[in-house]
Amino acid sequence: MANISRYDPFESTDPLDNLFRGFFRPVQMDKDMPQIRMDVKEDEKCYAVHADMPGVAKDDIHVTIDGNTVSISAEVKKSSEQKEGEKVLRRERHFGRVSRSFALEHEVDEVAASAKYQDGVLELVLPKKTATAAKRLNVQ
């Protein structure tokens, strides 16, 4: 019997071409990587953000406001508490740094903004900046 194989005109027989094949694939995020899940609500005066951040210490949460962009970051530290004679069978709890940024429609008044962290939920109250009246210049 004869062996039949398909001919690919684009297949290279050069070993260097095969070395880099698939090297420039897009990076895919790990599905198991922890994320900051949140709800954002709005009324006439402010935005309310509720972000789930279980297992994070209050001192390890950082919120940055720049105009209408809000950034939340946190660090979960690895606990190396292990008793003598004990071995870890499975480890599912994550540790490391997570962050999330998002843009709002209106600018936020950073001075009046407030944050509260309780039971693994970060609550932000972000008042909208009032539109300042445009100055009228007298041309002389």
Tokens of residue 136, six digits: 């009228």
Tell me the C-alpha distance between 60 and 73, whole Å: 8
Alpha carbon distances (Å) from 93 to 90, 96, 126 = 9, 10, 31
State yes or no: pLDDT of 37 exceeds 60.
yes
Strand order in the sheet with 96-103: 61-66, 69-76, 96-103
pLDDT of residue 18: 58
Rounded to the nearest integer, the mean pLDDT of the chain is 79
∠ CA 103-105-29, rounded to 5°: 25
Whole-structure pTM value: 0.64
